[in-house]
Structure 1
Amino acid sequence: MAFGKGKPAAAAPKGLMEKDVVFPKGPEDTISALRWSPVANHLAAASWDGKVYIYDATNSTATDTIMGVAAITVGAPVLDCDFSKGGTLAAGAAADKKIHLMDLNSSKTMTLEAHTSPVRTVRFVQVPSANAPIIASGSWDKTVRYWDIRQPQPIGTLELPERVYAMDAAGPLLVTATADNHLHFVNLHGNPLELWKTVKSPLNYQTSSVSVYADGTRWAIGGIDGRAAAQVADANDKSLDNLQFKCHREQTPKKPNHADVYAVNAVAYSPTHKDVLATAGSDGTYSIWDVRGRNRLRSFPKVAGPVTAISFACDGMSLAYAVGYDWAKGYQHNSAGAERQIVLRRFEEELKK
């Protein structure tokens, strides 16, 4: 079921446009992921330049009030990042097949020799039976592995039928999207080493991003065909049944019945409202959606390049997005002079009350 036709996209109020703040210059290549700390206004940015940048955006009224507080130097493209639930540890998933960690209190770093292929995703997960922070990592080696950072070897491995292209976790739910266009669900509060269920993706083409709502009751995905989908984890709840919608498309010039289609590079649920979902696209735009109301809450003007990553702050009142080359046209179109930046948009009111 698609979003209702005839509902125009709400434009961003002019006042909100004036609240955008550009982060200090940092990443020198594409920003692959953004993640906010769950307890503070700290932002992690994973980059193809081989680093994870950590910013303190507590005082974010202007560029010079946002502080770069740390960087994890990896030396290989970093494809994902995350914070521990207490916000004291940061992790990066890298193309060197390793997980790179930093204790933000002591600045000490460590490395987990994680996989036999590049690590595509990393998340700190809630496993009630464990007495330490647990990391889940998804790789192109067709596994999800679990780590207790006090041990050099994984404490468990979940075998999957194909490469992990995207993953997210919150509460009891972990969701992976694999190269065979299937979604795999794990109940972290049950047995993390068993699949709870596997379903064919509701999107026809490759899944590029997954987001799980904070309490683990909902998930959403974005695809390379300019579509997104949102569902409730409980199969008995039909409130979002078969919900998928077109996004990140624009009218083809001089062809009234044609549209150019762009990849959805990232999807992200608001941490404070389960009906609010943001999408970011290769077309250089991002939008915020009301998935239960099945309409677009806000649309924003096109920026200087593709929007490669997006993330809500822990209070849901601000959003970080990254602008840069998204590799959609191959390496030959990448330019050292391409715009690369992280931008913070602060909202003056709740997006949905």
Structure 2
Amino acid sequence: MAYHKGTSLASVAKGQQDREVDFPKGPDDTISALRWSPVANHLAAASWDGRLYVYDVTDSTSSTTIKGVAAITVGAPVLDCDFSKDGTIAIGAAADKKIHLMDLNSSQTMTLEAHTSPVRSVRFVTVPSANAPIIASGSWDRTVRYWDMRQPQPIASLEFPERVYAMDAAGRLLAAGTADNNLHLIDLHADPGRIWKSVKAPLSSKISSVSLSADGSRWALGGIEGRAVAQAADEKDKNMSSLTFKCHREASTTKGGQTDVYAVNAVCYSPAHRDVLATAGSDATYSIWDVVARQRLRSFPKVGGPVTAMAFSRDGMALAYAVGYDWSKGHQHNKADAETKIVVRCFGEALKK
């Protein structure tokens, strides 16, 4: 299938009410990551079933109009995914220590023998000094490595004191959250081989997710104890002070006067507005926040199971999220009939004008 640019979801949604549409049945196990193409209405989904899926969401009026256009069978859990800047290549980070790639025009695949431990995160990044598209991969082997797809070996490697648990890239920045609860920022334009700044995460437990605003000026973290934080990358940015807030918590139904706390499985900024951040949790809910006004913009009812991944479309007019078991309650609570699905919420109007 030729990979082409699609119409914006804003033009489709104009004049309509919010609506949700389930994707056709696809992944057979927990979905670990979702990513939209930067140039088309295509969505990649990384799954623990050992596959990377790509869907065409140009027509999202029903489950039957959303089409699966490609799938890479990896054979090991796929932990993250991304698209190239022109949308022609989909990549997956896998527990087999490799990066898996597919050319969506030719369906050709290739593999990079990437790390000595599972690859947790992958992003196509912009490095002006390079003369080719560059992939950054973060791994539990405590490194971030940079790849030119024309070469079998990394072109550079950056070592960290601990395992890379989450990673994102936008603008000139790459952000890597590590197991020691530090967020490391790398300036890809100045020196991709050196950590520009490290910040101790204001979270009491481990980092579960990282997101950068589209211009790279802001970062956000989610933690496993029902707390998220948003902050300007440059402390000189006076438009936004650090915001740490409790989320994905609810009054306990079994312990009087106490609160049940759930993991924040995903945080993501809207590409259309750097003030807008979404969070998703093990409590089967997701919410949208204004990080400057410091308030919740939208909240939504429970969706039937933990929300394991989410991503805004390139125009901010749709939010895809995944429902499935997230292992927050251990193996004993994993049920064979637990539902795994992808849902897209299309917004009738912009979240923030």
TM-score (norm 2): 0.94
Shift of 1:257: 3.1
Matches within 5 A, 1:276-295: 276-295=276-295
Report the equivalent of 1:147: 147
Structure 1 stretch displaced more, 239-248 or 184-193:
239-248
- What residue identity is the alignment partner of 2:270? S
Report the equivalent of 2:311: 311
State the distance in 2 between where 1:252 and 1:16 align: 37
Report the equivalent of 1:217: 217
Report the equivalent of 1:187: 187
Report the equivalent of 1:80: 80
Report the equivalent of 1:39: 39
State the distance in 2 between where 1:255 and 1:17 align: 39
Report the equivalent of 1:296: 296
State the distance in 1 between where 2:293 and 2:18 align: 28
- What residue identity is the alignment partner of 1:321? Y
Shift of 1:173: 0.6
State the distance in 1 between where 2:22 and 2:335 align: 21
Shift of 1:38: 0.5
Report the equivalent of 1:70: 70
Alignment root-mean-square deviation, CA: 1.3
Report the equivalent of 2:89: 89
Shift of 1:67: 0.3
- What residue identity is the alignment partner of 2:154? P
Structure 1 stretch displaced more, 239-248 or 304-313:
239-248
Report the equivalent of 1:228: 228
State the distance in 2 between where 1:49 and 1:335 align: 15
Q: Give deviations 1:29-59, integer Å, cap 9, x for gaps.
A: 0000000001100000000000000000001
Mind listing any 5+ residue stretches in structure 2 that lack a counterpart? Answer: 1-14
| Cα gap change, 1:348 to 1:17, in 2 (>3 Å) | closer
Mind listing any 5+ residue stretches in structure 1 that lack a counterpart? Answer: 1-14
Shift of 1:17: 7.8
| Cα gap change, 1:245 to 1:314, in 2 (>3 Å) | same
Provide the aligned length of Structure 1 versus Structure 2: 339
| Runs of 4+ residues over 4 Å off in structure 1 | 15-18
Q: Give deviations 1:203-245, integer Å, cap 9, x for gaps.
A: 1210100000111111100000100000111111133323100
**1:16·1:346 contact (CA, 8 Å) conserved in 2?**
no
State the distance in 2 between where 1:243 and 1:18 align: 28
Report the equivalent of 1:136: 136
Shift of 1:348: 0.4
- 3-state SS in 1 of match to 2:27: coil
**1:211·1:221 contact (CA, 8 Å) conserved in 2?**
yes
| Cα gap change, 1:16 to 1:31, in 2 (>3 Å) | farther
Q: Give deviations 1:312-353, integer Å, cap 9, x for gaps.
A: 001100000000000112233222210100001000000011
- 3-state SS in 1 of match to 2:273: coil
State the distance in 1 between where 2:47 and 2:241 align: 36
**1:80·1:121 contact (CA, 8 Å) conserved in 2?**
yes
- What residue identity is the alignment partner of 1:200? K
- 3-state SS in 2 of match to 1:332: helix
State the distance in 1 between where 2:332 and 2:16 align: 36
Report the equivalent of 2:205: 205
- What residue identity is the alignment partner of 2:120? R
TM-score (norm 1): 0.94
Shift of 1:256: 5.4
Report the equivalent of 1:4: none
- 3-state SS in 2 of match to 1:79: strand
- 3-state SS in 2 of match to 1:269: strand
Shift of 1:198: 1.0
Structure 1 stretch displaced more, 238-247 or 145-154:
238-247
| Cα gap change, 1:294 to 1:93, in 2 (>3 Å) | same
**Is 1:105 matched up with 2:105?**
yes
- 3-state SS in 2 of match to 1:65: coil
User: In percent, how many aligned pairs have the same letter?
Assistant: 73
State the distance in 1 between where 2:236 and 2:242 align: 13
Structure 1 stretch displaced more, 45-54 or 330-339:
330-339
Report the equivalent of 2:320: 320
**1:16·1:345 contact (CA, 8 Å) conserved in 2?**
no
Shift of 1:16: 8.2
State the distance in 2 between where 1:120 and 1:16 align: 38
- What residue identity is the alignment partner of 1:224? I
